[in-house]
Amino acid sequence: MIFRIAPREEWERSRQDGAYRADTLETEGFIHCSTHEQLVWVANMFFRGQRGLVLLCIDPSRLRVEVRYEDTEGGEQFPHIYGPLHVEAVVRVLEFEPGEDGEFELPEGVP
C-alpha cells in the first residue's frame, strides 16, 4: 500500500478529472509514504495542525505509471509516483484530521 495525504478539495477535483496531478509530478514525482511510521511522521512534519485533509490509500498494482522507491538522507525509502495518479488506483479514502493538540495519529481503517 502507498499513502498520500491530500487536501480534500484537491482530491474532490481530481476525482472529477479522473486523475490526481501536481505541479512537479512529471519532473519530481509525488512523495508518498509506504509505512504507517512514515505516514505519521510526514503528517506531523508537513501538515501539523492542518485540517480538511484526506488520506489516499493507493494500490501499487493498479498504477499505470512508474513508481520509484527513493532513499532519504537517513536511508529510508519513500515511494515516488511519476505521472498522473489515476483515481482507479485509490482503493480507500479516509478522513485525516489532527487531534486537538495539532498532531496526527494513524486513522482507523488504514490498511
pLDDT in tens, 31-65: 688 899 999 998 999 899 999 999 999 999 999 98
- Band of residue 84 on the pLDDT scale cut at 50, 70, 90: confident
Identity of the amino acid at 105: E
Establish if 104 belongs to a structural domain: no
Residue 39 domain-assigned (yes or no): yes
Look at residue 15 and tell me if it is in a domain: yes
Q: How many domains does the chain have?
A: 1
In 3D, which of 87, 76, 75, 90 has the Cα closest to residue 39? 76
**Nearest CA among 40, 97, 49, 22 for reference residue 31:** 22
Asked if residue 87 has pLDDT above 90, the reply is: yes
In a domain, 107, yes or no: no
State the cell numbers at 47.
Answer: 501538515
Residue 20 belongs to some domain of the structure: yes
Residue 52 to residues 29, 95, 99, Cα–Cα distance (Å): 23, 8, 13
Calculate the average pLDDT of the chain: 87
Residue 20 belongs to domain spanning: 2-96
CATH number for the domain spanning 27: value is: 3.20.170.20
